[in-house]
Amino acid sequence: MQGGLERATGEKMVLNFGPQHPATHGTLRIVLELDGESILKATPHLGYLHTGFEKLGEHLDYNQFIVVTDRMNYLSPLSNNFGYVLAVEQLLGIEVPKRCQYIRILMAELSRLADHLLWLGTAALDLGAFSVFLYSFREREKLYSIFEKTTGARLTTSYTRVGGVFRDLYDGFETDARDFISNFPKALKETHTLLTKNRIWMDRTKGVGPISADEAINYGLTGPCLRAAGVAHDLRKAEPYSAYDELTFDVPVGSNGDAYDRYLVRMEEMMQSCRLVTQALDNLPDGPVNVEDNKITMPHKSDAYGHIEGLIHHFKIVMDGHGVQPPKGDHYCATESPNGELGFYIVSDGSGTGYRIRIRPPSFLNFQALPHMLEGGMVSDTVAVLGSLNVIAGELDR
Amino acid sequence: MKVNEEMSFWDRLYIPALLKGMFTTLKHIPKKKLTYQYPEDPRSVNERNERYRGIHKLTTTEKDEIKCVACFLCATACPADCITIQAAPSPEGWTTKEGYPREKYPDVFEINMLRCIFCGYCVEACPEDAIRMTGLTLPQYFRERQKEGESLGSSRSDFIFDRDMLVANNDIPQEGLSVEAE
């Protein structure tokens, strides 16, 4: 980052970084105005992966929209599922049973691990550390087989439902999860050995793309990027939702706000997620997983098959205009997704489909700080900064 | 809690950390391989669980009558709008499990697999346990069929599964999502 502009010659060159570039991990484009190797101006462009998620929210009913949230941040679909149904439930004014809250936290924390692991692998790969990529994908693979057994799919999980979850945890989940958690710190330590004190990694990331705490707040950064700048803000602590207030964990904070700190914060967050998963497993309460309200969740299948009343409730949940209908009004609910604050603003007109579902994706606001981090630096730092921000194109363009 | 610590003299030396990293990588070389060839390896289809969301099948009774009563709930629940049903009076002699004559059955039941997102909402919505999922993904299904000498998957119409194809999927050994498993 240092000294880029001093070597400026005054001759400008425009370089297109993306839309197809192996380091963008998705279709996004940055137009770099260069002088030699130093960046004078960086302009991020959006719209290469526009999917119309928000518009779909005006056509699909509240349960159907869950499948859309899978595809937003496709690295941690379970967090998105969780955030969305929490917003609908708060709009409805209901609270799910304790067991369901713990299951959701378990899955959200495991998906945070999966997200950070993929980030770690690809960010290191972009800077040339190939073995880290292999080791983190090995761990991620174990998580994905847990997800597959729990939700029925590896990526498009659609696990939560308004008022509950798709199904209780499978038998043997606890063994699988504990097995993973007990081996995970060892695997993470390998990465620490490979990267944390490695001078090549340090030189590529230390002091690269720095942002001060004030600027980070002004740009609206959230999640690991904000915490790396030294602001100890975590929605799980600041505004505890679900059962997070019953669990203890620390919020890792960096000091320089550069790519290296963002790396360290994410590494420590993974350890904290492990703590949360262990606690949630220890305290996992028994009881029902779904809200016992036939106007919100589907009746048990034996009711639907055996009783006319159950069958009527079953039909009414699915049929348009008879299922989940929050009262007129609007609500904003934010959760701490692996990338930062993931907010859903839902406006309800009292019908079965939302009037407007606005999504506040963390990547979008993290991405807008990119020019600030890049300008004045060197062109080779673009990859390091972009990698450290973990911009997911799927949630960038809704 | 702070994560960033100052570099010690030892860290500044540059070489020890590199050697340690190299040692970690070398340790992994003799270890057993975790990956396998997908989809050639049989593990890629056989390790499915009872929640897996693969391609659909239409279940039948012991008398080989389609269980579906053409109530349209699956088509209503489908977020991708991929199910087409046309109801018709059921054939003579079809009975419910209690022995009463059946009224409706699906004359046309098509799933457009190009639109389907395999969310499993149709299985969840079905009040008759008439639609279930198998443990095969669409590419794996086509692969199996191509092994039998059929040329499938080269045109769009191959992806629209009609009623008879969905009933024939009952022969797929890998079980997927069903409501019974609850």
Residues of A in contact with B176 (CB under 8 A): 152
Percent of the residues in chain A that have a pLDDT greater than 90, as a whole number: 50
Mean pLDDT in chain A?
89
For the four alpha carbons of A66, A68, A73 and A77, in that order, the dihedral sign comes to positive
User: Is domain B43-171 in CATH 3.40.50.300, yes or no?
Assistant: no
State the average pLDDT over residues A47-59. 88
**How is chain A split into domains, by residue range?**
2-45, 53-396
Instruction: Find the chain B residues whose C-beta atoms sit closer than 8 A to any C-beta of A.
Output: 1-4, 7, 11, 14, 17-18, 20-21, 24-25, 28, 34, 49, 51-53, 71, 73, 76-77, 79-80, 117-121, 124-125, 127, 129, 176-177, 179, 182
CATH number attached to the domain at A53-396: 1.10.645.10
Query: Which of B51, B177, B182 has its CB closest to that of A301?
Result: B182
Got the DSSP string for B36-72? --TTTSTHHHH---TT---SEEE-B-TTS-B------
User: Which position has the token pair 């859903």?
Assistant: A344
Residue of A nearest to B27 (CA): A190
State the average pLDDT over residues A35-54. 88
Mean pLDDT in chain B?
87
Q: In Å, how far is A8's CA from the nearest CA of chain B?
A: 31
Asked if A193 and B20 come within 8 Å (Cβ–Cβ), the reply is yes
Tokens of A146: 């847990």
Spatial CA neighbour of A319 closest among A367, A350, A352, A281 = A352
Integer CA distances (angstroms), A28 to A16, A20, A22, A24, A394, in order: 10, 8, 11, 6, 10
Residues of A in contact with B4 (CB under 8 A): 254-256, 260-261, 264
- The sheet carrying A29-35 orders its strands as A13-17, A29-35, A38-45
Q: What is the pLDDT of residues A315-328, one digit of tens each?
A: 998 888 888 899 99
pLDDT exceeds cutoff 90 at A98: yes
Which of A234, A256, A300, A318 is the best substitution to test chain B (most B C-beta atoms within 10 A)? A318
Q: In Å, how far is B156's CA from the nearest CA of chain A?
A: 23
pLDDT band at A295 (very low <50, low <70, confident <90, very high): confident
Percent of the residues in chain B that have a pLDDT greater than 90, as a whole number: 36
Q: Yes or no: say if B105 and B91 are a contact pair by the CB < 8 Å rule.
A: yes
pLDDT band at A1 (very low <50, low <70, confident <90, very high): very low
Residue B181 has a pLDDT of 47
Lowest mean pLDDT among A2-6, A152-156, A393-397, B120-124: A2-6
Q: How many residues does chain A have?
A: 398
Q: In Å, how far is B142's CA from the nearest CA of chain A?
A: 19
Spatial CA neighbour of A166 closest among A69, A297, A287, A321 = A297
Number of H helices and E strands in chain B, helices first, is: 7, 5
Residue B102 C-alpha from the chain's centroid: 30
Tokens of A75: 């690295």
Q: Give the H or E element holding residue B86.
A: strand B83-89
State the average pLDDT over residues A17-22. 80
pLDDT exceeds cutoff 80 at A234: yes
Which residue ranges of chain B lie beneath pLDDT 70?
180-182
